[in-house]
């Protein structure tokens, strides 16, 4: 399949010469390899186990994956009142946290099927080393 894709791209360039043919083939191959090695979430963010990334400000951080799932469903439902109510309940019970500044974390696990990321806090402070569950959309660069 890969060679047929390269031939399809390089064939129109064959009239220019073999040098461009080789260059075009190499560029297509590099693009295919790099695209296959990364797991995009949204807007170019990449989740890779062990990577240290920044979490967007005002994101909701959960102690457990089971607490994140209902939040994700409420967010998808388009019911802002129910989402706000759940957030206030979880934040009030200290089963979720909301940080105002962007914070550095290390990716421990990414579950693409549920769009959940398990992270370890890397930003210095009393919460450094703690683990959290986030919606994948909270991951920045």
For 10-24, how does the pLDDT look when each residue is reduced to its tens digit (9 = 90+)? 555 455 555 544 444
Return the bridge partners of 9, or none.
none
Task: Name which of 37, 38, 46 is nearest 139 in CA terms.
Answer: 46
Give the start-to-end residue ranges of the domains of the chain. 2-37, 52-138
Is residue 81's pLDDT more than 80? yes
Only one residue has tokens 């129109």, namely: 12
Full-model pTM = 0.66
pLDDT number for residue 12: 54
Task: Name which of 137, 122, 132, 139 is nearest 65 in CA terms.
Answer: 132
CA distance 89 to 47: 29
> Tell me, what DSSP letter sits at residue 108?
E
**Lowest-confidence range among 1-15, 29-43, 66-80, 85-99?**
29-43
Mean pLDDT of 89-110: 96
């Amino acid at each position: 399949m890969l060679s047929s894709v390269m031939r399809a791209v390089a064939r129109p360039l064959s009239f220019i010469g073999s040098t461009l043919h080789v260059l075009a083939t190499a560029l297509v191959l590099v693009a295919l390899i790099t695209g296959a090695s990364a797991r995009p979430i949204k807007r170019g963010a990449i989740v890779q186990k062990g990577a240290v990334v920044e979490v967007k400000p005002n994101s909701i951080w959960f102690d457990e994956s089971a607490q994140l799932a209902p939040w994700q469903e409420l967010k998808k439902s388009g019911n802002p009142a129910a989402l706000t109510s759940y957030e206030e309940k979880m934040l009030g019970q200290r089963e979720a946290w909301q940080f105002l500044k962007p914070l550095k974390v290390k990716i421990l696990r990414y579950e693409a099927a549920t769009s959940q990321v398990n992270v370890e806090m890397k930003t210095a402070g009393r919460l450094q080393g703690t683990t959290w569950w986030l919606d994948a959309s909270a991951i920045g660069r």
